[in-house]
Amino acid sequence: MKEGQSKKRKRARHKKPQKPQQSLQPKHSIKHKKETHQQKNHAHRSSASSKPPKSSSSNSSSFLDKMRARLAGGHFRLINEKLYTCTGKEALDYFQEDPELFDMYHTGYQEQMSHWPEQPVNIIIKWLKDHSSSLIVADFGCGDARLAKNVKNKVFSFDLVSNNPSVIACDMSNIPLDPSSVDVAVFCLSLMGTNYASYLQEAYRVLKPSGWLLIAEVKSRFDPNNGGADPNKFSKAVCEMGFTSALKVIIFFYLHQCNPLSFANSYISCAGLLK
């Protein structure tokens, strides 16, 4: 018995070990799993590649924005040239026939102003804030009436088209105010048209004695070397309208283009009345 049991134990010890269960699975099953995984990766890549790249869409949008800006800028320049080469009455009729042109013009105007380091209207706002809030103001060519919105003064806002209840649409040479009824007359980049002298005469009519005339214009309009008016001759002509004899005063701001469109104040006194 012992000898037989010993032989059984020896046979048991020499018995080959069985392979793990997982190794008995057919090879094609493993291959199938790998193919499925690769297919998933391929599907994922295909799905990702089917989406439009963000950078391309962004570039397209940026290009369209630039084209729109160019078109708007072109429309603005055309309308701007029109306003400088017609009378105030013709400009009024022009915008009344198609009010959308006025909106287009002011959209382009605001775009141009957004690139200036200093806004001319802000200079005039500051001037008014440095003086009494009891001064009554007439704003000739007010645009979006920003002046009236930013000061405590009583401001009459005039322009060729009224998109705001506070703005009065009219020809700048014939505004609905009584003579000697305002303390300050403002022209902020609005001396436009072939008859702009009549705008200044209208300002003289509505200003009180000892009133103020504030003009803000780009320097190029007062550069005789480039076809503009001589600033000294301009101020002399304005004074000859009666501002000196009536004790009315000019403050003349002009924009220096040679100094990255920064604003500088140039005060021109009539008969030394500026304090």
Whether this prediction's pTM lies above 0.75 is answered by no
> How far apart are the C-alpha atoms of 219 and 266, rounded to whole Å?
11
Q: What is the pLDDT of residues 142-166, one digit of tens each?
A: 988 999 999 999 999 999 888 889 9
Grouping H, G, I as helix, E, B as strand and the rest as coil, residue 196 is helix
Q: What is the pLDDT of residues 60-88, one digit of tens each?
A: 566 555 555 555 556 777 887 888 789 88
pLDDT at 133 over 90: yes
Amino acid at 122: N
The CA distances from residue 213 to 130, 204, 238, in Å, are 16, 8, 10
For each of the domains in the chain, give its residue range(s) and CATH number, in order of start: 64-113 (1.10.10.2150), 120-265 (3.40.50.150)
